[in-house]
């Protein structure tokens, strides 16, 4: 199962992906979380220690430039850079959950067509194609990345929305681009939902009910402020994450 997540900035997509990763790992599945956000926070969400020492692979300019070096005797860069050894070098693990802090992948549409990004895209593709594990991909906020073809091959996309008009508008834009990108399954997930009125607002604005709705959790906020893992902060959130996992497994099994 390969699942990507997106949404307007600040809606809590990293929190939801962290909770989903924990429930997936506890269900007995191998889990790899790929943090492909330009401001990666998944390590903190999972409780990885010494996060200030973590450098996203996208920021390792010297290493990426070496991998994307010009082919000897040619003016062209290597279009098939070696990436097989990178997971072993840079993959972290916390409580059975594997984490790769990739950082943002840019292309010409995003203002950069650097050859180094060929390395990042090839690495992402390799990680997504691993058949032996569940892969959860935490993307950058907004809609631009869907135009770059960086999540081709995922089984589904989660679009996180909160009960505000701006979040719903962004969610619908992401849904439209995801359909154009031929992502096979697209699901809305509600967050910071306080009551039935919030649920009805989301269902009305989106034109469908979210797959699940996470409540507004003061325990999650306190854990984040205290620099503690959010994956152990709130049992109510864990229960919703388990419901989300079950729903995803069921939907993806329906070929």
Is residue 126 domain-resident? no
Answer whether residue 122 shows pLDDT above 60: yes
Residue that the structure tokens 């802090």 belong to = 101
Is residue 194 domain-resident? yes
Is residue 19 domain-resident? yes
- DSSP letter at 39? S
Residue that the structure tokens 């306190």 belong to = 222
* The predicted structure's pLDDT at residue 18: 93
Rounded-to-integer distance, Cα 83 and Cα 190, Å: 36
Distances (CA, A) of 115 to 62, 64, 89, 106, 107: 12, 9, 21, 10, 9
Is residue 67 domain-resident? no
Q: Per-residue pLDDT tens for 227-247?
A: 888 888 899 999 999 999 999
Is residue 163 domain-resident? yes
Under 8 Å CB-to-CB from 247, ≥6 apart: which residues? Answer: 187, 211, 212
Is residue 202 domain-resident? yes
User: Higher pLDDT residue, 67 or 6?
Assistant: 6
* The predicted structure's pLDDT at residue 12: 92
Confidence tier at 64 by pLDDT (50, 70, 90): confident
Is residue 68 domain-resident? no
Answer whether residue 109 shows pLDDT above 50: no
* The predicted structure's pLDDT at residue 74: 55
Is residue 241 domain-resident? yes
Confidence tier at 99 by pLDDT (50, 70, 90): very high
Domain range enclosing 184: 2-48+94-112+132-253
Q: Confirm whether pTM is higher than 0.75.
A: yes
The enclosing domain of 249 has a CATH number of: 3.40.50.300
What's the domain count of the chain? 1
User: Higher pLDDT residue, 126 or 33?
Assistant: 33
> Please, where are the H alpha helices in 101-255?
116-128, 165-180, 196-206, 218-225, 235-253
């Amino acid at each position: 199962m390969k699942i990507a997540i997106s949404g307007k900035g600040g809606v809590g997509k990293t929190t939801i992906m962290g909770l989903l990763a924990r429930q997936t790992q506890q269900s007995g599945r191998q889990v790899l979380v790929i943090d492909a956000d330009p401001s990666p926070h998944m390590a903190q969400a999972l409780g990885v220690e010494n996060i200030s020492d973590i450098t996203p692979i996208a920021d390792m300019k010297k290493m990426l430039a070496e991998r994307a070096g010009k082919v000897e005797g040619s003016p062209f860069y290597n279009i098939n850079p070696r990436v097989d050894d990178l997971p072993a070098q840079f993959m972290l693990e916390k409580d059975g959950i594997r984490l790769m802090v990739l950082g943002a992948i840019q292309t010409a549409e995003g203002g950069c067509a650097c050859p180094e990004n060929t390395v990042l895209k090839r690495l992402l593709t390799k990680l997504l194609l691993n058949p032996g594990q569940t892969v959860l991909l935490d993307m950058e906020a907004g809609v631009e990345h869907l135009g770059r073809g960086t999540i081709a091959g995922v089984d589904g996309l989660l679009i996180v929305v909160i009960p505000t008009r701006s979040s719903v508008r962004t969610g619908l834009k992401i849904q439209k681009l995801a359909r154009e990108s031929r992502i096979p399954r697209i699901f809305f997930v509600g967050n910071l939902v306080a009551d039935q009125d919030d649920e009805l607002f989301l269902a009305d604005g989106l034109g469908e009910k979210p797959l699940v709705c996470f409540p507004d959790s003061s325990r999650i906020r306190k854990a984040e402020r205290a620099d503690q893992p959010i994956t152990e902060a709130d049992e109510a959130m864990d229960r919703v994450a388990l419901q989300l996992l079950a729903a995803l497994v069921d939907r993806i099994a329906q070929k």
